[in-house]
């Protein structure tokens, strides 16, 4: 049974460590567990015992504890212009944060307003995040692939007063929309070359000049901001896509971030303070990357190496080889790329090497499968292949020290998991959402299962709502990691969080007797690509249909896939008695095709020899136009297929209200879809 925090009482130091002389952060009185206003505090769902009873702590106080205990330990490693690794210690990290906090205040950042970052991972990203929070403000990330229009929505709804960008390309987006953003006071660019309009008198600054700014006149205000920080107020916004409409801003408190990062670390196998090394390369706009790269590392004094912008194009491997991380988080596509490269190299090997490699992988795989089932393992064979054969593979991948490999943001294919297990590199699957500050459940060495999202992490609650006869229903979650609410979205907040504080995920699943959570479907129509991008299909489909008025259905495909594809149907007449689609094209379709120089009256004529190249070319042109309006690169369609029949109620593709049954369409066209990939 959970109990509320003591209203108005300052938060204590974490269990097991002495507090600094001056605490930073308190828990303000609150009337509710939810809020849509960043300045309005929420109740904390504290328990009487266990992890959920851990005393709340603010982000600045967490940083103070880490600096106190590990001042000279490397916090960040980055490459300079000469590609030489440079070190920032935890003491230097805090110094930079305190200075830039004062800079933000001097540049006009008000309490409970936002600093937005539109940049690739870097020390400046980390410093911007913690500086915004130390200033009593809020941080939000913006995906670098977003269009200027999509960026504008985030900046408007988050009430951003400062934006940090890394290069001229991102700066140009801000420059093009700045006249539409009355709240925006300052734009900061971290990397050269700079556009001619980057002049400080116009509110455009270079990061380097801000590092030298005199901020002595705001010292008192900075200290006042720190003193007034409330652990149960919003300090972070993460934007997540819904099925329709604009992305929603998920409000996360100090407590959600500091508590969640601690409990995740406690679940990781033998996590060690000041001994862990990670590589930062997943977009920090994503909650998983932010939780692990920034807050987990701060919690356990880890060292973070920064990959470069081309990490996903092939340079990640060299960074892994240099950093030799002890823990790694990646989306499924990252591991798939490694697997593809490994298989390509293996295909060039001699027959003898293939034979030895095949035997070694089979031994490692069987060892882990036996371990999962609690069976005795052939230890001498496993030790042999682990120490003398597979160790070379790990060394080539830069993973010789890696204790934990984890995947998040999208489900991972079973065969990919088995492949890495055969390399003695089992991958743990984490499940969570922006709304849960990151992970809610995790598979681990002591609780591994290919088909589940693991068991809930400590201090959390999970229930299955509105169960059917099989025990399947909506997966709901509750705990200190659950969002405060969506900024400015009262209706959507109450739709997502019920009166008892349960967050309704929209995912359908069940929990078995051992506590493993299984996902079997999704209530909300949301595509999650292999890269972890959340994409509302209706938005993308409507873009295509607007460009091609003779298209009846534009069905987006891409769940768990590397890229988006589409199934297209043309408008035809319908049998009024049966509801079946006819072969005859509608007059508007015939007229549109005639303008293209393709004179057809039926679908079968179009497909008679093929499908018609002129029709395919016209559809491709429409998709190209739609892609220009896509919110990000991940929302662009790469391939399409023209189907021989439209969707219908009798055909099973449409429900009674003519809503598309996505699972039926996917199953009926699985052969076409597989050819896409």
Share above pLDDT 70 across residues of the chain, in percent, rounded to a whole number: 94
| pLDDT for the residue 19 | 37
CA distance 564 to 557: 6
Statement: residue 652 has pLDDT above 70: yes
What average pLDDT does the segment 396-423 reach? 91
| pLDDT for the residue 411 | 78
CA distance 98 to 483: 27
CA distance 311 to 269: 27
Tokens 């009593």 correspond to: 136
Residue 468: phi, psi to the nearest 5?
Answer: -90, -170
Statement: residue 142 has pLDDT above 50: yes
State the pLDDT confidence band at 52, using cuts at 50, 70 and 90.
Answer: very high
Per-residue model confidence as pLDDT tens digits over 534-556:
787 877 888 898 899 899 999 99
Among 162, 235, 149, 258, CA closest to 487: 235
What average pLDDT does the segment 122-150 reach? 95
What average pLDDT does the segment 156-181 reach? 96
Token couple for 130: 């913690």
Statement: residue 255 has pLDDT above 90: yes
Tokens 């790329």 correspond to: 337
Angle at 628 between CA 624 and CA 631, to 5 degrees: 125
| pLDDT for the residue 508 | 84
What average pLDDT does the segment 293-322 reach? 94
**Of the listed ranges 302-306, 374-378, 662-666, the one predicted with least confidence:** 374-378
| pLDDT for the residue 221 | 98
> How many Cα atoms within 13 Å fall on the side-chain side of residue 481?
30
Residues 54, 287, 526, 496: is their CA dihedral positive or negative? positive
* Three-class DSSP category at 302: coil
State yes or no: cis peptide before 611, omega within 30 of 0: yes
State the pLDDT confidence band at 289, using cuts at 50, 70 and 90.
Answer: very high
What average pLDDT does the segment 284-307 reach? 96
Residues 606, 610, 613, 616: is their CA dihedral positive or negative? positive
| pLDDT for the residue 577 | 62
| pLDDT for the residue 241 | 61
Residue 382: phi, psi to the nearest 5?
Answer: -65, -45
What average pLDDT does the segment 48-58 reach? 96
> Do strands 2-4 and 503-511 pair parallel, antiparallel, or not at all (unpaired)?
unpaired
| Cα 288–chain centre separation | 5
Q: Which pTM value belongs to this model?
A: 0.82
- Full DSSP string of 581-596: EEEEEPHHHHHHHHHT
State yes or no: cis peptide before 148, omega within 30 of 0: no
State the pLDDT confidence band at 151, using cuts at 50, 70 and 90.
Answer: very high
Per-residue model confidence as pLDDT tens digits over 446-481:
778 888 999 999 999 999 999 988 898 899 999 999
Statement: residue 11 has pLDDT above 70: no
Residue 524: phi, psi to the nearest 5?
Answer: -80, 145
- Full DSSP string of 424-446: T--EEEEEEEGGGTEEEEE-BTT
| pLDDT for the residue 406 | 95
Residue 278: phi, psi to the nearest 5?
Answer: -130, 160
Token couple for 192: 């050269």
Per-residue model confidence as pLDDT tens digits over 575-603:
766 778 899 998 878 988 988 888 899 99
Tokens 């959970």 correspond to: 2
State the pLDDT confidence band at 631, using cuts at 50, 70 and 90.
Answer: confident
CA distance 412 to 427: 9
Rg (CA), the chain: 26
Q: Name the DSSP class of 230.
A: B
| pLDDT for the residue 98 | 98
Q: Using CB atoms within 10 A of its CB, is residue 345 exposed (0-12), middle (13-18) or buried (19+)?
A: exposed
Residues 170, 175, 176, 179: is their CA dihedral positive or negative? positive
Q: Are 425 and 400 in contact (CB under 8 A)?
A: no
| pLDDT for the residue 206 | 96
State the pLDDT confidence band at 444, using cuts at 50, 70 and 90.
Answer: confident
CA distance 61 to 13: 8
- Cβ neighbours of residue 109 under 8 Å, at least 6 residues apart? 115, 132, 135, 137, 161, 162, 185
Token couple for 665: 């369409």
Statement: residue 226 has pLDDT above 80: yes
| pLDDT for the residue 658 | 60
CA distance 321 to 483: 37
Statement: residue 212 has pLDDT above 50: yes
State the pLDDT confidence band at 201, using cuts at 50, 70 and 90.
Answer: confident
| pLDDT for the residue 655 | 64
State the pLDDT confidence band at 243, using cuts at 50, 70 and 90.
Answer: very low
State the pLDDT confidence band at 6, using cuts at 50, 70 and 90.
Answer: very low
**Of the listed ranges 121-130, 228-237, 239-248, 259-268, the one predicted with least confidence:** 239-248
The count of other CB atoms within 10 Å of the CB of residue 19 is 16
CA distance 560 to 532: 8
What average pLDDT does the segment 251-261 reach? 98
């Amino acid at each position: 049974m959970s109990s509320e925090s003591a209203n108005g009482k300052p938060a204590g130091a974490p269990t097991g460590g002495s507090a600094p002389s001056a605490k930073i952060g308190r828990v303000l009185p609150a009337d509710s567990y939810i809020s849509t206003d960043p300045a309005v505090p929420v109740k904390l769902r504290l328990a009487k015992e266990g992890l959920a009873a851990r005393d709340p702590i603010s982000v600045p106080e967490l940083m103070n504890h880490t600096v106190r205990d590990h001042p000279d330990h490397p916090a960040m490693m980055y490459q300079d212009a000469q590609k030489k690794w440079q070190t920032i210690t935890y003491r230097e990290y805090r110094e930079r944060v305190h200075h830039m906090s004062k800079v933000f205040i001097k540049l006009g950042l008000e309490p409970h307003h936002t600093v937005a970052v539109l940049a690739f991972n870097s020390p400046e990203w980390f410093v911007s995040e913690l500086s915004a929070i130390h200033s009593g403000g809020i941080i939000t990330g913006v995906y670098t692939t977003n269009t200027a229009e999509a960026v504008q929505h985030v900046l408007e709804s988050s009430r951003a007063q400062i934006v940090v960008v890394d290069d001229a390309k991102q700066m140009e987006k801000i420059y093009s929309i700045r006249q539409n953003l009355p709240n925006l006071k300052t734009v900061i660019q971290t990397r050269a070359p700079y556009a001619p309009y980057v002049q400080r008198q116009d509110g455009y600054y270079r990061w380097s000049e801000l590092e030298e700014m005199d901020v002595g006149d705001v010292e008192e205000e900075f200290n006042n901001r720190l003193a007034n920080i409330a652990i149960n107020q919003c300090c972070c916004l993460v934007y997540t896509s819904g099925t329709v409409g604009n992305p929603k801003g998920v409000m996360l408190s100090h407590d959600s971030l500091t508590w969640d990062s601690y409990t995740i670390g406690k679940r990781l196998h033998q996590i060690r303070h000041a001994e862990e090394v990670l590589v930062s390369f997943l977009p920090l706009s994503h909650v998983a990357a932010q939780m692990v790269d920034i807050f987990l590392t701060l919690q356990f004094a880890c060292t973070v190496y920064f990959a470069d912008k081309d990490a996903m194009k092939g340079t990640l491997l060299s960074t892994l080889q240099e950093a030799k991380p002890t823990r790694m988080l990646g989306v499924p596509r990252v591991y798939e790329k490694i697997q593809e490269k490994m298989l390509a190299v293996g295909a060039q090997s001699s027959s003898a090497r293939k034979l030895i490699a095949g035997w070694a992988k089979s031994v490692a795989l069987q060892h882990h499968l036996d371990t999962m089932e609690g069976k005795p393992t052939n230890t001498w064979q496993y030790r042999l292949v682990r120490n003398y054969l597979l160790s070379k593979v790990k060394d080539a991948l830069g993973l010789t020290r890696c204790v934990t490999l984890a995947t998040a943001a999208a489900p991972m294919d079973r065969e990919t998991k088995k492949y890495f297990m055969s390399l003695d590199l089992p991958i743990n699957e984490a499940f969570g959402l922006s709304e849960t500050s990151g992970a809610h459940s995790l598979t681990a060495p002591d609780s591994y299962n290919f088909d589940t999202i693991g068991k809930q992490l400590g201090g959390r609650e999970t229930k299955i709502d509105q169960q059917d006869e099989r025990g399947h229903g909506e997966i709901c979650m509750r705990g200190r990691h659950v969002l405060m609410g969506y900024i400015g979205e009262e209706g959507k907040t109450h739709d997502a969080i019920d009166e008892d504080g349960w967050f309704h995920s929209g995912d359908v699943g069940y929990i078995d007797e051992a506590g493993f959570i299984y996902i079997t479907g999704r209530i909300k129509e949301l595509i999650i690509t292999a890269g972890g991008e959340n994409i509302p299909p209706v938005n993308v489909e409507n873009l295509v249909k607007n460009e091609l008025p003779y298209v009846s259905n534009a069905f987006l495909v891409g769940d768990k896939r590397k890229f988006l594809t589409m199934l297209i149907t043309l408008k035809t007449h319908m049998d009024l008695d049966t509801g079946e689609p006819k072969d005859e094209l509608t007059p508007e379709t015939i007229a549109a095709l005639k303008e293209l120089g393709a004179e057809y009256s039926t679908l079968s004529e179009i497909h008679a020899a093929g499908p018609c190249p002129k029709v395919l070319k016209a559809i491709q042109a429409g998709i190209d136009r739609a892609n220009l309006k896509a919110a990000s690169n991940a929302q662009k369609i790469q391939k399409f297929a023209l189907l021989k029949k439209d969707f219908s109620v009798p055909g099973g593709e449409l429900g009674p209200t003519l809503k598309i049954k996505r699972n039926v369409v996917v199953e009926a066209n699985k052969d076409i879809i597989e050819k896409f990939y």
